[in-house]
Structure 1
């Protein structure tokens, strides 16, 4: 959708809203109505991955620990403390007042079961990869204590516990010996600040405050999440009072509608970054242009990332030159940068033997305007780009088959402000790693084998320096989170860019 059409859409929404007049019911009935474009089909975050599901999990679930979004320090949650008995043995002490939404009390057996189930191959959980790299098994050693036996030294284990594994009642997924991975997909029984009262997949989710929640109670009694795929419809609903909160709002729409008296535009940081991954190893063509570092450097010089960040992403977005978010621990900013310089790009291409350019198939699945800007910049220096804009599933399948020479990707690190959250996924044993650099992979993994934070920083600096020098990526920009909310709603923004509706309140 081009800018003019989006502007017309905003104008139409404003006109529609003015015709209805203000009718914000949320504050009156203590019900926050949130709009999400992505279909909500499964409530169990142990079996989902997308940002929308992370937001919902924050509402309905609780983990052993949490990470403070400002300080990035570990805080207690279901667990009150932890102790490393030795390098590969971890004892976690649990609260004794944690209730499940069905009223039963959480036990150490529930915690051990949850981790052991996720670890087992038969679980086929989306979270299995998180624990399989470090967990041997979990066992109950006291009524309120679980011992985790680690497969190897792994200093990031507490961070993983804070970010991913949701606790389920023992036997949830394999009651009576029958495996049911969808046991919590619709009828979720969890431990978070809100409980599910009704759920119509793909249409509406109704949550009510869980009065027996062990932590701080949220201010708002009820949250209704509505699936509204069309952004224009979301806008109209917000302006007429049918919706109080929406996110992933295009910048121009957010700015236009935020100027009306019936909506507030909020813009904050987001840990998501955009980048181009290049087939440096030559999976698609062993003798291809991308195997030449000068070509990859030329691609970096060809991209006007400053303008992309300012005009296509907007808000707090900024150009980046590292393979991580600048706010993440270990994201060294002193690595080699490739300033926008089309002439330098052309010279490097000529030096590599491609003075007349070469054909490049560039894949993308989101942010079409940004993908087109990348294609245009590369075309301007002589690279003949064939932009293939596809669904994410198609891109994932082609990447797994090693059929993609270059793609525009993004990564939000699950809201984790640590370079480990992006480096391991993209530069270790993964189809996302197209560098073919075994030494780099070993280096990245070694950062997870030391508890010395300064040593971790040094390792990531070395790894990021190598990624930059070899131009395995073309880093583009950080993202900005744009929201439109009811004027009656106080919605605090956290620096990690993860929306936490449980912290919202009425003005």
Structure 2
């Protein structure tokens, strides 16, 4: 073990030992969580919104995915090419006539006798409203492109200057109601559209939403609704879905979901689900051990401690869809008032806004990163090298050739960057990441130590941020360099290609990354029905991603899924709303027995 690895491990252990003392104190004054009716799940941070049209971050998506529902469901967590009816009463196909022969029209009959949490009945018009609302809201940083692209052929309702690219009638023609069916008309064939429909828990009541002063569904009101800030929608702090749980109350960093007793399948075994935001992973682990929680998000660095803990269960064998920790480059950071840039010049005291627009800078960072040391410190023997933008299980043969630490190649790249000025003058640069994520801190340290070896003038400063501040700074384009992860919106290679490489998608947009060849290839792959031809297209995208280098792929590990051994169903193969495929909890599948 190198000195750096020893420091990292020592720091990790010091945190855990310190937290253990805190836990012993807290455990003495808190009764164990023994109720079999209330389930406690721990997250590392607070949710951002309850609006299903803006629930793009992980915690918000987990909350809304247990309250709202999709039209279809996947057969299982491992069968993501097969579907079963959900809010739609039939799965459309060419054979049953619910998909047109040209693959452009999808008709979904809506299930009868389904009630929202307010007691009103679900109608096809509610479904149509929910899908139109998802597209037409299109808040900055939101996920509207998921539907805008296949249905309207655009990635946003607005261009860069704010001019609207679509009309209300464009959207209204794309989603219609006919005899109790909702009919979607696509711009071009899309082989992943059913997967998308099975991954969008967004259906709400039109009348209820209008009563919350949200969009009323009319053409006249959509202009004022479009681009409304995420925290100003009528559904930002309220929920009304058809799912097994309804929102009961919110208390600071806790929220409680209560069982929906009128649920259309059958009521949940759990009466309540309580979310608690606990930023420190060590404390989350100890709360699990004490029985003060039933399950928790944990970074992979806690895996050995979770496996060794008495009374806890680590679920293995889940789908490997995680791309691990990624280093994102901002090709043109915002300049005005941006302290992240330091001096804002290439003078050894900062960086210019377009620092990462130089491919040799990006290559230098790629060759300098200490991949193997990060793998050992963060994941140990379970580390899996991520070789490109697609999980190998979803796009076999589309792996790229990963970078490895090579100090000489890094020096050569930096000596070419900006005509040699980077090498001569050096730089000061912050790398940002969520302060609650230890694994990302280890990745930041692997980058900092590697660059220091390349040239002592290369100074990288660790810059942890609270989650909401992290996203706010990212969306203002102020972060020149940041570390994050990516969870697929639906289990298909297109979700990864679009989310990570398409110029108008979330990350590329805030990285100022645009490659027209990549955008064209993404659309071509999405429309391709032949599996072999599709794989070849994704292989081409992997090659282009390696060539343009908008981000670095490092290492990942098998999903870490931890619960108390008194919990049943945590290993469920159910994949409603695509939650379990992303290693997110779906509480309807769970129950508890009394803890010994």
| Shorter-chain TM-score range | 0.7 to 0.9
Residues 212 and 235, structure 2, Cα contact 8 Å, conserved in 1: no
Distance in 2 separating the partners of 1:447 and 1:489: 41
Could you tell me which of 305, 309, 312 is aligned with 1:256?
A: 305
RMSD, aligned CA: 3.6
Partner of 2:427: 359
Q: Which runs of 5+ in 1 are unaligned?
A: none
Distance in 2 separating the partners of 1:178 and 1:432: 27
Distance in 2 separating the partners of 1:329 and 1:74: 17
Residues 69 and 200, structure 2, Cα contact 8 Å, conserved in 1: no
Residues 324 and 485, structure 2, Cα contact 8 Å, conserved in 1: yes
Displacement of 1:3 in angstroms is: 1.5
Distance verdict in 2 for CA 1:175–1:364, change over 3 Å? same
Helix, strand or coil at the partner of 1:271 = coil
Greater shift after overlay, 382-391 or 463-472? 382-391
Could you tell me which of 159, 172, 176 is aligned with 1:139?
A: 176
Distance verdict in 2 for CA 1:472–1:38, change over 3 Å? closer
Distance verdict in 2 for CA 1:205–1:19, change over 3 Å? closer
Partner of 1:25: 34
Give 1:309-348 correspondences, 5 Å limit: 309-314=375-380, 316-329=382-395, 332-333=398-399, 335-348=400-413
Distance verdict in 2 for CA 1:339–1:237, change over 3 Å? closer
Partner of 1:278: 329
Helix, strand or coil at the partner of 1:174 = helix
Residues 302 and 378, structure 1, Cα contact 8 Å, conserved in 2: yes
- For the pair 1:194 / 2:194, whether they are aligned, the reply is no
Displacement of 1:110 in angstroms is: 1.1
Partner of 2:53: 46
Greater shift after overlay, 100-109 or 261-270? 261-270
Displacement of 1:476 in angstroms is: 1.3
Partner of 1:445: 523
Partner of 2:129: 113
- For the pair 1:62 / 2:69, whether they are aligned, the reply is yes
Helix, strand or coil at the partner of 1:323 = coil
State the Cα deviation string for residues 76-100 of structure 1 (Å, max 9, x = none): 2111222222443221122224222
- For the pair 1:71 / 2:79, whether they are aligned, the reply is yes
Greater shift after overlay, 453-462 or 234-243? 234-243
Helix, strand or coil at the partner of 1:365 = strand
Helix, strand or coil at the partner of 2:298 = coil
Distance verdict in 2 for CA 1:316–1:108, change over 3 Å? farther
Between the two proteins, the alignment pairs up a number of residues equal to 500
Residues 427 and 433, structure 1, Cα contact 8 Å, conserved in 2: no
Structure that is richer in strand per residue: 1
Greater shift after overlay, 110-119 or 463-472? 463-472
Partner of 2:445: 372
State the Cα deviation string for residues 266-307 of structure 1 (Å, max 9, x = none): 566562532223356899889977555455334323223233
Give 1:215-234 correspondences, 5 Å limit: 215=265, 218-231=268-281, 233-234=283-284
Could you tell me which of 86, 91, 115 is aligned with 1:81?
A: 91
Partner of 1:209: 259
Give 1:294-313 correspondences, 5 Å limit: 294-313=360-379
Greater shift after overlay, 162-171 or 447-456? 447-456
Distance in 2 separating the partners of 1:432 and 1:177: 30
Partner of 1:425: 499
Could you tell me which of 292, 297, 301 is aligned with 1:242?
A: 292
Q: Which runs of 5+ in 2 are unaligned?
A: 1-7, 93-97, 152-170, 217-231, 336-350, 435-439, 573-579
State the Cα deviation string for residues 95-118 of structure 1 (Å, max 9, x = none): 224222233321111111111222
Helix, strand or coil at the partner of 1:173 = helix
